[in-house]
A and B are shown apart, each in its own frame.
Chain A
């Protein structure tokens, strides 16, 4: 969900771009963190934990907690909270350790 009105801040997001999440077409703003685009689109689960496959979501926003590791354009373990969204990115929910397949 995007914040529409704010008494102090003005948001000047970049260009609206398309990307995919697990093959499904999504929209976000170029240059914002991939994980922020996903939260804005209502996506809660970004990865599944290694041992018990528990859902993991956005947590720290500073690239330290590993909760938002996802596969981007075939590369696993990308910290999506500190990775800028680019048009056409192929984002995938990561399960466990992640792989290159």
Chain B
């Protein structure tokens, strides 16, 4: 059995930031990540980030990941357990971890505090034959082409014109892969217009108030049928279009990966604005359980910049709760919260802010 001060579950932007912040205060950390490479979704992002300099504005996601990983390496008090899944949280405070997927190894960890930064998984969309090979989640498409240089297909239909749908479409074009069209069920493009404009300039049509109805093929996607939909998301007859594509990329939202929080007994609440069930938490990212903190998409679907700040807040506060010294704690904590507010001071963040209000534990209220 391994003992540690803080176990951090998830090595994406939130988990890495939490680890760096807490480690800088001397805290002993074990970070568990389930993928082959640390960095979460950052390691696939070729676009430059927005925000202020503090939040890596103007830097590509892949380079932000590199900076965070370089910092992580410098701390001897951070132990990394890669390619490992936390499979359970037990009442005596023990986490069970399974590492590898052939010749697996079981590891038991007893941490004093836990920061859950497990991120999110992609939503599925119901349509006929949606299980055919060639139908991918947008994250999978990014992994294949941006991490391993493998093209997922030759001609792609993107479902969803939120930021992920737009960005991944652009990444496909960068990789020399044809994007036939983007369909969006809502009457309006959901993502930033900067991204949408880049794609339109490259000649890719974006069909709003449209969705995918059917794909056809035997051992893989051979064609897709899209249709116009009305305000109630019902198909409008005689508006179908047939597209010759071999790949469908789903970018229809994310759901928090919150299984561990459910199991640990966190008080879960459904918030459509935050993308699904999330745990109640206070302004310091502590859940209703004293030893569990959350950060990043598992606390509500947002993006990497805010995930990194939430990670820092969780790391700092978990460290302070273990009586580690930080001379200007109050000031730092307030600064981080101000930074988060600044980042959310735009019309697109109204939804997130309203969502957080639904799950926020106010000071002094249980």
- A63: B residues at CB distance < 8 A: 34-35, 85, 101
Contact between B131 and A13 (Cβ–Cβ < 8 Å)? no
As a 0/1 sequence over residues 60 to 85 of chain A, the CB contacts with chain B under 8 angstroms (1 = contact) are 11111101000011010011011110
- B34: A residues at CB distance < 8 A: 62-63, 82
Q: How many A-B residue pairs have CB under 8 A?
A: 117
B154 to A, closest residue via Cβ: A1
- B137: A residues at CB distance < 8 A: 59-61, 65
Chain B residue total in the interface (Cβ 8 A): 38
| Whole-angstrom CA separation of A29 from B148 in the bound complex | 9
Contact between A59 and B135 (Cβ–Cβ < 8 Å)? yes
Contact between B121 and A75 (Cβ–Cβ < 8 Å)? no
B36 to A, closest residue via Cβ: A82
Contact between B133 and A58 (Cβ–Cβ < 8 Å)? yes
Contact between B220 and A59 (Cβ–Cβ < 8 Å)? no
Q: Is the interface of A mostly helix, strand, loop or mixed?
A: loop
Q: Does B289 contact A (CB under 8 A)?
A: no
Q: Does B266 contact A (CB under 8 A)?
A: no
Q: Does A40 contact B (CB under 8 A)?
A: yes
As a 0/1 sequence over residues 21 to 64 of chain A, the CB contacts with chain B under 8 angstroms (1 = contact) are 00000000100110010011000111001000011111111111
Given A44-B219, A82-B83: A9 touches B146 (CB 8 Å cut-off): yes
Tell which of A40, A44, A73, A83 touches B101, judged by Cβ atoms closer than 8 Å. A83
Contact between A9 and B149 (Cβ–Cβ < 8 Å)? yes
Contact between A3 and B46 (Cβ–Cβ < 8 Å)? no
Contact between B174 and A58 (Cβ–Cβ < 8 Å)? no
Q: Is the interface of B mostly helix, strand, loop or mixed?
A: loop
Given A36-B150, A60-B121, A61-B144: A82 touches B35 (CB 8 Å cut-off): yes
Tell which of A8, A56, A82, A84 touches B131, judged by Cβ atoms closer than 8 Å. A56
Contact between A46 and B133 (Cβ–Cβ < 8 Å)? yes
Contact between A58 and B102 (Cβ–Cβ < 8 Å)? no
Contact between B144 and A55 (Cβ–Cβ < 8 Å)? no
B150 to A, closest residue via Cβ: A40
Q: Does A11 contact B (CB under 8 A)?
A: yes
- B150: A residues at CB distance < 8 A: 1-3, 36, 39-40
- A79: B residues at CB distance < 8 A: 101
Contact between A58 and B148 (Cβ–Cβ < 8 Å)? no
Tell which of A3, A33, A46, A84 touches B145, judged by Cβ atoms closer than 8 Å. A3
- A6: B residues at CB distance < 8 A: 149, 174-176
Q: A59-B140, A63-B34 are in contact. List 20 more A-B contacts (CB 8 A).
A: A2-B151, A3-B151, A3-B176, A9-B46, A11-B148, A11-B149, A40-B151, A44-B219, A49-B131, A58-B136, A58-B144, A62-B121, A63-B35, A75-B102, A78-B102, A81-B140, A81-B143, A82-B34, A82-B35, A84-B36
Residues of A within 8 A of B (CB): 1-9, 11, 13, 29, 32-33, 36, 39-40, 44-46, 49, 54-65, 67, 72-73, 75, 78-79, 81-84
**Closest A-B pairs by Cβ, 10 of them:** A57-B133, A11-B149, A61-B140, A61-B143, A44-B133, A44-B220, A1-B151, A40-B150, A36-B148, A3-B149
Q: List 18 A-B contacts (CB under 8 A).
A: A2-B151, A3-B177, A6-B149, A9-B149, A11-B148, A13-B149, A29-B148, A36-B148, A40-B148, A46-B133, A55-B219, A57-B135, A59-B136, A59-B137, A62-B34, A62-B35, A79-B101, A82-B83
